[in-house]
Structure 1
Amino acid sequence: MNHSVALDLRETAAPAARAAAGRIADDKAMLRAAAEIARDLHKARPAIFWGDMLASAALGYGALAATILAPSTGWALLAGTVAVLALYRALLFIHEISHLKHSDLPGFRLGWNVVVGVPLMVPSFMYEGVHNLHHARTRYGTVEDPEYLPLALMKPWSLPLFVLISALAPMGLLLRYAVLSPLSLVVPPLRRIVRERYSGLVINPSFRRRPAEGAERTRWLMQEIATSLWAIALLALTAANVIPLRAFLIFLGVIGAVTVINQIRTLVAHLWENEGEAMTVTAQYLDSVNVPPPGLLPALWAPVGLRYHALHHLLPSVPYHNLAEAHRRLTALVDRDSPYHKASYAGLPGLVHQLARSTMGTRR
């Protein structure tokens, strides 16, 4: 779903300083080194993908059941925390699916949708065909990038709003699949709105999704129908008291917590300092964030390789389980003054503080 608010939140100061970020020249030594060290790192390993995804989902659903059945508030909070973190990790495989060479992992997309995507009402079509635009050389950071907003140029109160609005995602997903999807089948103008505005995990409110074609369109429709049937059944069974209201609300609460954590991760995935100008690959890298070891917490809030988000923008086809090795090799290979080192940060608090200061700094 589009979790952003279509408001003009930008400040008017310092456009020249921000525009200069897009004119950073490419560091050819870094780009050559990245390509060199990754030659043997592009192949996904099925055992890791399937094992990690299924184990995360099993732990998440088990903890969700424990949360619903917990004998006390304390146990419910503990189990709920485990459910949120495990399902969050399972859900983030949607990012890997958008980059996969599917012949390397036959059936994984279908398996993930059955186990995670449809039950959590975030089928993979909502990211496939959208996320790749964020990696397009001429789109990143521009108004045509579905996953970019110049948050560093926005008003300070836009940051908490950006996070808090994501808590409404469970209700938005139910509305999208239980109500809008069926209605759009008989109301063509509504179908266009649903397809353009409510069929992608984006943060840019001006983004409009184009219609899918061929096999992609078939997959989209199958996933959408399955998710719609699931959402309708969920509401119907709750209304009939087959599913207790408390269990239903806990389920929505867990999904809401997952989307809030993901929105916080998104908040610090980039520096968000570009104001629409096309950027070089090096500029895109420096506008992105790595949070490498020794920190441990990023493994929880930026799992499935997303702690190496800047590196991912250099090597988008390297699967998540090889990014740590790619980082180790590249760190050892490039010079001390290489731009590669400038995208690594210590952790979440410092990144949030830096972004908040940026919003303050753009004010006159």
Structure 2
Amino acid sequence: MLATDHLDHTDVHDAHEAAGRPRPPGLAGTPEDKAMLRAAADLTRDITRARPEIYWPDMLVSAVLGYGALALAIRTAISGGSGLVVLALGVFAALALYRALLFIHELTHIHRDALPGFRFVWNLLVGIPVLMPSFMYEGVHSLHHSRIRYGTVEDPEYLPLALMKPWSLPVFTLTALLLPVGLLLRSAVLVPLGVIVPPLRTLVWERASSLSINPSFRRRKPEGAFARMVFWQELGATLWAWTVLGWSATHGWLPLEIAIGVIALAALLNQVRTLVAHLWENEGDQMTVTGQYLDSVNVPPPGVWGGIWAPVGLRYHALHHLLPSMPYHSLGECHRRLRAHLGMGSTYEKANYPGLFPLLARLVRSTMGARA
């Protein structure tokens, strides 16, 4: 979906004025910057193709490096090697697997025919071994990009974190450490039990089958070809979980413990990235696309760390909300073209930030102000 798709509809701001209602408060009341939306589409039409020569090596190398470092960490720990070496290898494995895992985001946006075999291979090498198959994001993340759902109670990926209590931030962040254990419990126990206990199957699907942060979100039952894909991915994840647990029970639990630690670290890093993906200032109102953009965050170069903690194009998260189907490898060029065309004083520039820590500090200050 390109930015011009939004221009064919009356925006939220126009609808409020037509009905004689006042604008919603904050960013929800932002009118559309149609010049920015049109420029985003017109200036980037030639770089919208997903390039397999970039996707495949990037994903495969990230996975191989991640698993290789994890294997070395396990081998070093079993042989009684240095704890610092194990830690360094574990951190490297977490960073590499984090990058490989984030291709799940690309799978939700690229056309199903754009990269033949990519979804299958990603699930085989990354999604199922980490117990996070692509169905857990596909069909969910698209709701976050809906013009009428973003920032509302129907958005699975939105919470008004900036308006919540200060203690909510560490709780939100640290719960990510429980993710690998939760995924193991889900695939090894809850999904198989759900086959013979239909109410449990319904509960697991609605509440524990999507990578969402909104506790009010309930996932709808899958249908058609998507339901068949879910079945095979669930079967693969369950068989893998049983294999891992069976092997660990007979050969020792240390490898699994190290693997859980590595995935937990990757999940923690992703949760920190999520904290600064948006400003989280909307209280449930529908927003214009421009409002969504301004509630989102770009952390462009010259900073180099953004490509590590927000890889696979996610350092351009605000730009991604303007051009959701733009492949990750084109977002840097999109950013350069739009900044040059629109200028430093434009609406586009207002979503660009210098780095992770200033954004975290802003979020903390917002929650401190929300205590009253």
| TM-score normalised per structure 2 | 0.92
Matched, 1:195 2:201: no
Cα deviation, residue 336, structure 1: 3.1
- Deviating 4+ runs (over 2 angstroms): 16-20
Query: For residues 188-209 of structure 1, what are the alpha-carbon distances to aligned partners after superposition, in whole Å with 9 as ceiling and x for unaligned?
Result: 0111101101110000000000
In 2: Cα distance, 1:213 partner to 1:248 partner? 34
Which of these residues, 139, 156, 167, is aligned with residue 146 of structure 1? 156
Which of these residues, 28, 46, 49, is aligned with residue 43 of structure 1? 49
Matched, 1:56 2:62: yes
Q: Helix, strand or coil for the counterpart of 1:240?
A: helix
Which of these residues, 287, 294, 298, is aligned with residue 295 of structure 2? 287
In 2: Cα distance, 1:336 partner to 1:328 partner? 12
Alignment correspondent of 2:134: 124
Closer, same or farther: CA 41–185 of 1 in aligned 2, 3 Å:
same
Question: How many pairs align?
Answer: 347
Cα deviation, residue 17, structure 1: 11
Which of these residues, 29, 39, 47, is aligned with residue 33 of structure 1? 39
Aligned counterparts, 1:58-207, within 5 A: 58-70=64-76, 71-207=81-217
Higher relative contact order (CA 8 A, sep 6+): 1
Alignment correspondent of 1:228: 238
Gaps of 5+ in 1: 1-15
Q: Helix, strand or coil for the counterpart of 1:277?
A: coil
Cα deviation, residue 21, structure 1: 1.7
Q: Helix, strand or coil for the counterpart of 1:260?
A: helix
Gaps of 5+ in 2: 1-21
Closer, same or farther: CA 85–17 of 1 in aligned 2, 3 Å:
farther
Q: One-letter code of the match for 2:31? A: A
Q: One-letter code of the match for 2:29? A: R
In 1: Cα distance, 2:181 partner to 2:239 partner? 16
Query: For residues 298-318 of structure 1, what are the alpha-carbon distances to aligned partners after superposition, in whole Å with 9 as ceiling and x for unaligned?
Result: 111000000000000000010
Alignment correspondent of 2:249: 239
Query: For residues 70-115 of structure 1, what are the alpha-carbon distances to aligned partners after superposition, in whole Å with 9 as ceiling and x for unaligned?
Result: 2211211111111010000000000000001121101100000000
Which of these residues, 273, 281, 291, is aligned with residue 281 of structure 2? 273
CA RMSD of aligned residues (A): 1.2
In 1: Cα distance, 2:371 partner to 2:94 partner? 37
| TM-score normalised per structure 1 | 0.94
Q: Helix, strand or coil for the counterpart of 1:40?
A: helix
Closer, same or farther: CA 230–18 of 1 in aligned 2, 3 Å:
farther
Q: One-letter code of the match for 1:64? A: L
In 2: Cα distance, 1:67 partner to 1:37 partner? 46
In 1: Cα distance, 2:162 partner to 2:25 partner? 12
Q: One-letter code of the match for 2:368? A: M
Closer, same or farther: CA 295–17 of 1 in aligned 2, 3 Å:
farther
Between 1:52-61 and 1:38-47, the stretch displaced more is: 38-47
Which of these residues, 2, 20, 39, is aligned with residue 26 of structure 2? 20
